[in-house]
C-alpha cells in the first residue's frame, strides 16, 4: 500500500466512530421511518434469519484480499479492500467491506474515490447502529447489513467498480452503485456526459420497456409496467438522469436497477444491456460505447 493511501486509511482508523458520527446517526434515526415504509412496499424476498452470531464487536480495518479479486488496473494499480466494519450479536450483524483504489502513482482521482468510499462505509455503519438501537427499544426484530464490491470491467481504458449493499430486516433488499472510470484520462464517467442532450433518457427508457415486455412474454419474468401493476407509483416510467450504469469490456452500456424498484424483490438487482444501435445517434462519440 503506497504512503498516500496509507495516510488516508490511517486517518479514518484513528477517528472515533461514535463521536464523529453523532449527526449521521441522528439523521439515520429520523430517516428510518421512511426506510421502513419503503421496505414494506417490497414484495417478500427470502426471509433472512440472523441467529447464533455470538456476542462480539470488531470494528477494525482488514485487507481481506483472499475474499475478493484483486485485478491489475493499469495506472490505477489495483482495487483492494481498504477497511471492514464488523458487529455481531444474536440479533444484529454488520459486515461492511470498503473498497479502495491503490495507485502506483499519486492521483487526485484515486484520493477522491477512496475518500468517498470510506465515507460511504462510515455512514452505512452509522445507519446500521442507529436502526439497531431503535429496534432494541421495541425488543423486536433482526437486522443484518452487509456490503462489498465487484469489478465489472477492467481493461486498458475502463474500470467499472460496483459497491453493493444487502439489508435484511425480515426480508432482504439489495442496492448497488457504480463508478465507471476512464483510466487513461483519469476521470469518472457519468451517464449524461456520454450523450449530446437529454433525449437519451426517453430513448433508453423505451428500449428497457421493450426488453421488459419481451422477457415477460418469453421468459415468464415480471416487471412493473402500467399494464402489469395496479399501483401507478410502482410502474416504471423513465430512468433517472443519474441512473446506475456501467460499461462492459466490449463497450456496451448496461443500466442497473436496485432490487424491487422495477420488478418484484425475488428478481434481485436487474440489468439491461442497451443495444448500441439504439443510442448511437445520441452518443457524443464512440470512445466508450461502441
Backbone phi, psi, residue 8, to 5° = -65, -45
- Within 13 Å of residue 151, how many CA atoms lie on the same side as its CB? 20
Give the chain's domain count.
Answer: 2
> CATH no. for residue 61?
3.30.565.40
Last residue of a domain, one of 144, 174, 189: 189
119, 208: one domain: no
119, 181: one domain: yes
Owning domain of residue 95: 3-189
- In angstroms, the CA 117 to CA 163 distance is 9
- In angstroms, the CA 44 to CA 37 distance is 14
19, 156: one domain: yes
DSSP 8-state code for residue 226: T
- pTM for the model stands at 0.75
Reading the block at residue 2, the C-alpha cell is 503506497
Which residue in the block uniquely carries the three cell numbers 410502474? 235
Sort 105 into a burial class: Cβ within 10 Å, 0-12 / 13-18 / 19+: exposed
Sort 282 into a burial class: Cβ within 10 Å, 0-12 / 13-18 / 19+: middle
DSSP 8-state code for residue 170: B
pLDDT of residue 62: 35
111, 196: one domain: no
pLDDT of residue 60: 33
Which residue in the block uniquely carries the three cell numbers 429496534? 135
141, 15: one domain: yes
pLDDT of residue 25: 36
Per-residue pLDDT of the chain (290 residues; tens, 9 = 90+): 555 555 555 555 554 544 434 343 334 334 433 333 333 333 233 333 232 333 233 333 333 333 334 344 445 558 899 999 999 999 999 999 999 998 777 678 999 999 999 999 999 999 999 999 999 998 888 999 999 999 999 998 999 999 999 999 878 899 999 999 998 898 999 999 999 999 999 999 999 999 999 999 999 999 999 998 888 788 999 999 999 999 999 999 999 999 999 999 999 999 999 999 999 999 999 999 99
Torsion of CA 234, 238, 243, 249, to 10 degrees: 110
CB atoms within 10 A of CB 274: 19
Amino acid at each position: 500500500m503506497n504512503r498516500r493511501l496509507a495516510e488516508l486509511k490511517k486517518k479514518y482508523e484513528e477517528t472515533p466512530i461514535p463521536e464523529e458520527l453523532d449527526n449521521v446517526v441522528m439523521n439515520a434515526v429520523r430517516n428510518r421511518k421512511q426506510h421502513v415504509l419503503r421496505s414494506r412496499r417490497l414484495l417478500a424476498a427470502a426471509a433472512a434469519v440472523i441467529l447464533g452470531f455470538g456476542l462480539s464487536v470488531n470494528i477494525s480495518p482488514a485487507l481481506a484480499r483472499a475474499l475478493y479479486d484483486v485485478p491489475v488496473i493499469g495506472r490505477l494499480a489495483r482495487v483492494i479492500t481498504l477497511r471492514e466494519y464488523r458487529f455481531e450479536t444474536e440479533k444484529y450483524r454488520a459486515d461492511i467491506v470498503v473498497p479502495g483504489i491503490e495507485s502506483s502513482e499519486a492521483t487526485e482521482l484515486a484520493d477522491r474515490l477512496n475518500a468517498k468510499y470510506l465515507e460511504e462505509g462510515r455512514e452505512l455503519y452509522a445507519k446500521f447502529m442507529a436502526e439497531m438501537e431503535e429496534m432494541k427499544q421495541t425488543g423486536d426484530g433482526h437486522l443484518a447489513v452487509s456490503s462489498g464490491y465487484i469489478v465489472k470491467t477492467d481493461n486498458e481504458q475502463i474500470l467499472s467498480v460496483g459497491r453493493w449493499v444487502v439489508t435484511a430486516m425480515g426480508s432482504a433488499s439489495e442496492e448497488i452503485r457504480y463508478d465507471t472510470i476512464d483510466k487513461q484520462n483519469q476521470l469518472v464517467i457519468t451517464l449524461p456526459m456520454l450523450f449530446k442532450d437529454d433525449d437519451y433518457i426517453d430513448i433508453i427508457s423505451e428500449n428497457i420497456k421493450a426488453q421488459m415486455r419481451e422477457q415477460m412474454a418469453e421468459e415468464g419474468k415480471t416487471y412493473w409496467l402500467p399494464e402489469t401493476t395496479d399501483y401507478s407509483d410502482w410502474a416504471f416510467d423513465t430512468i433517472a438522469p443519474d441512473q446506475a450504469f456501467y460499461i462492459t469490456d466490449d463497450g456496451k452500456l448496461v443500466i442497473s436497477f436496485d432490487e424491487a424498484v422495477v420488478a418484484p424483490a425475488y428478481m434481485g438487482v436487474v440489468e439491461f444491456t442497451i443495444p448500441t444501435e439504439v443510442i448511437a445517434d445520441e452518443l457524443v462519440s464512440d470512445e466508450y460505447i461502441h
